[in-house]
Amino acid sequence: MWLGAVLAVIGALVYGVSDYYGAVAATRLRLIPATAVGYFVATIVIAVALIAVGGTWSWAAVGWSALAALSAIGGMLAFFAAMVVGPVSLVSPFIAVLESEVPVVFGVVLGVEFTPLTWLAVAMAIAAGLLMSVKPHPELGRLGLKVVGLSFLSGLGLGLAIVFLDRAPADAGLVPAFIDTAGSFVVMLVLALATWREFRAAVTALRPTWPAVVSGALVAGANALIVLALQHGDLVVVGVLISLYPLSTLLLARVLDKERLGILQLLGVCCALIASALFAAG
């Protein structure tokens, strides 16, 4: 299980770095063009990695991976919808926590058995993901039912994607990562074409596109690591460790942008370190 946990932590940190550069790209290209360019790059990188590393194509691998892709796509669309109608600083951490809790629920249903120390680590990791992401917001007490509903659907979809990826055969290699990433790219391509003028204007200026390219390459690496972590580890452990991705995002923002961390974010960093230590001890 330790190998899966290590891969999950590395994958989460890589995903956090990609999230940082994705945010930079979104401020320059806007959200949909930046995400579309990123997933285009991610799909190419995953395809090359799949050719190099290999993987067994089977009906089970394709079927579970396709379900994961559809679930992730649904979660992503609900995520974008929630971003439109609700404050990002509140909606994003709420979705992240829901996403991490879905594998935990499935693990309990499937009868997974952990030591009390490991369950404490699970709780600490979930708390860390929430605290590192959340920021005080004046609209904290005015979240509408629509925002909550969309956030719940997004977290459920993204969490189920992890569960479905875990069900794919271990010998599938990077096949699930490729199908999941390519499916997300197709959806972003459709959204980009629906906003073609904005997309064309954004990508015509090649200079500010590089953060989206970096973000996409890192997304590919993170997806590959997460799939490998699921193949070598436990669904619950991998699911909650992925929620630690804000750690590297916060550190980059602190080092590169000189952003100051709030008390809750510092507490989240501490919880993340404690959770990692508890997983190692358990």
Confidence of residue 62 (pLDDT cuts 50, 70, 90): very high
Confidence of residue 58 (pLDDT cuts 50, 70, 90): very high
Mean pLDDT throughout 215-244? 89
Confidence of residue 51 (pLDDT cuts 50, 70, 90): very high
Which distant-in-sequence residues (6+ apart) come within 8 Å of 270 by Cβ? 128
User: Virtual CA dihedral for 143, 146, 147, 148, nearest 10 degrees?
Assistant: 80
List C-alpha distances in Å: 182 to 7, 47, 79, 206, 273: 22, 9, 18, 23, 33
Q: What is the pLDDT of residue 277?
A: 73
Which distant-in-sequence residues (6+ apart) come within 8 Å of 89 by Cβ? 134, 135, 137
Kindly report, residue by residue over 249-258, the tens digit of the pLDDT: 777 777 776 7
Q: What is the pLDDT of residue 140?
A: 47
Kindly report, residue by residue over 149-186, the tens digit of the pLDDT: 887 888 899 889 999 999 999 899 999 999 999 988 88
Q: What is the pLDDT of residue 222?
A: 92
Q: Where are the alpha helices (DSSP H) in the chain?
A: 2-29, 31-53, 59-85, 88-109, 116-133, 145-167, 175-194, 196-204, 210-232, 235-242, 246-256, 263-281
Q: Which of 5-9, 12-16, 143-147, 229-233 has the lowest mean pLDDT?
A: 143-147
Kindly report, residue by residue over 92-142, the tens digit of the pLDDT: 667 777 888 888 888 878 777 777 877 888 888 878 877 776 665 544 445
Confidence of residue 83 (pLDDT cuts 50, 70, 90): low
Q: Which of 31-40, 47-56, 253-262 has the lowest mean pLDDT?
A: 253-262
CB-side exposure of 162: number of CA atoms within 13 Å?
A: 33
Burial class of residue 116 in the structure, from the number of CB atoms within 10 Å of its CB (0-12 exposed, 13-18 middle, 19+ buried): exposed
Helix 116-133 to helix 263-281 angle, to the nearest 10 degrees?
160
Q: What is the pLDDT of residue 88?
A: 59
Confidence of residue 243 (pLDDT cuts 50, 70, 90): confident
Q: What is the pLDDT of residue 233?
A: 85
Q: What is the pLDDT of residue 87?
A: 61
Share of the chain above pLDDT 90, in %: 24
Q: Which of 30-44, 128-142, 176-190, 230-244 has the lowest mean pLDDT?
A: 128-142
Share of the chain above pLDDT 70, in %: 85
Taking the model in full, what pTM does it have?
A: 0.85
Q: What is the pLDDT of residue 42?
A: 94
Q: Which residue has the higher pLDDT, 178 or 277?
A: 178
Mean pLDDT throughout 207-223? 86
